[in-house]
């Protein structure tokens, strides 16, 4: 095994992956790299069970964790169950999030605005806060937050709350990178258009085709490609990367 391949090994580490979609691919990839994975879900039991079954079929280990991460007691319970089962927690991938509903800003009710911020930002706040003591004690503590290219583009019509909440998560990433270091590294990924159920719901086939045309690599991404970036940022291969935002968009957005 090469030194680089060895540094990507996550054997004996424990990861919590929140949410579905990219979360499924990330959970499987982390397990392939050797981690014990806590597969979180709120309502999608069947999808989470299928993810865990796949992990076990591949020879990996993990457990299901159910909870509404916008509720402090439930978020605490998700983290506590995993830490009690395994004795430690090394990696947190804050992936849970959704636009919930696309709606023009001028028509958006306050209730929806707050719900979107809860799902995308408060959930990460609560899970991370509860995880911090475990991550600090780990010796390999790593947090990866899932952002969105909508932060840079404003998203398609009706994404104001989603883009704004993810923008706030970007700032939180940088704050945590300073506050939690050197014990914990905090980074984020910023996917472009990734062909998951998210875009089946919120993008039309014509819009997905337009995105492909706008991307220098002439295609949209896959959840598996994003998952490899999560493994990298969680691993010792990224040991001097802290406070970074990793673009995964095929060149559609260039800084």
Burial of 127 (0-12, 13-18, 19+ CB in 10 A): buried
**Annotated active-site residue in 162, 194, 223, 249:** 162
Please confirm, yes or no, whether 211 is among the known catalytic residues: no
- Number of Cβ within a 10 Å radius of residue 151: 21
Cα 214-216-217 angle, rounded to 5 deg: 115
Instruction: List Cα–Cα distances, 5 to 10, 15, 59, in angstroms.
Output: 10, 19, 19
Scanning 203-252, the segments in alpha helix (DSSP H) are: 205-214, 223-234
Torsion region of 70: left, alpha or beta (phi above 0 gives left; psi -120 to 50 gives alpha): alpha
Residues recognised as catalytic: 162
């Amino acid at each position: 095994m090469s030194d680089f391949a060895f540094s990507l090994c996550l054997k004996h580490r424990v990861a919590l992956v929140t949410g579905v979609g990219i979360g499924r691919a990330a959970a499987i990839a982390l397990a392939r790299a050797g981690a014990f994975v806590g597969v979180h879900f709120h309502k999608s039991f069947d999808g989470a069970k299928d993810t865990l079954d796949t992990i076990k079929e591949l020879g990996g280990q993990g457990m299901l964790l159910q909870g509404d991460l916008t509720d402090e007691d439930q978020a605490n319970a998700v983290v506590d169950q995993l830490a009690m089962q395994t004795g430690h927690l090394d990696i947190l991938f804050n992936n849970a999030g959704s636009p919930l509903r696309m709606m023009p800003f001028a028509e958006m009710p306050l209730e929806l605005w707050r719900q979107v911020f809860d799902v995308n930002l408060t959930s990460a706040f609560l899970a991370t806060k509860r995880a911090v003591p475990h991550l600090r004690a780990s010796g390999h503590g790593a947090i990866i937050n899932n952002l969105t290219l909508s932060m840079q583009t404003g998203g398609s019509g009706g994404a104001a709350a989603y883009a704004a909440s993810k923008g706030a998560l970007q700032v939180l990433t940088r704050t945590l990178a300073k506050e939690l270091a050197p014990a914990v590294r905090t980074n984020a990924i910023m996917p472009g258009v990734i062909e998951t159920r998210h875009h089946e719901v919120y993008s039309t086939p014509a819009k997905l085709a337009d995105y492909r045309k706008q991307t220098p690599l002439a295609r949209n991404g896959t959840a598996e490609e994003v998952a490899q970036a999560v493994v990298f940022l969680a691993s010792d291969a990224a040991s001097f990367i802290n406070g970074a935002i990793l673009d995964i968009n095929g060149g559609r957005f260039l800084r």
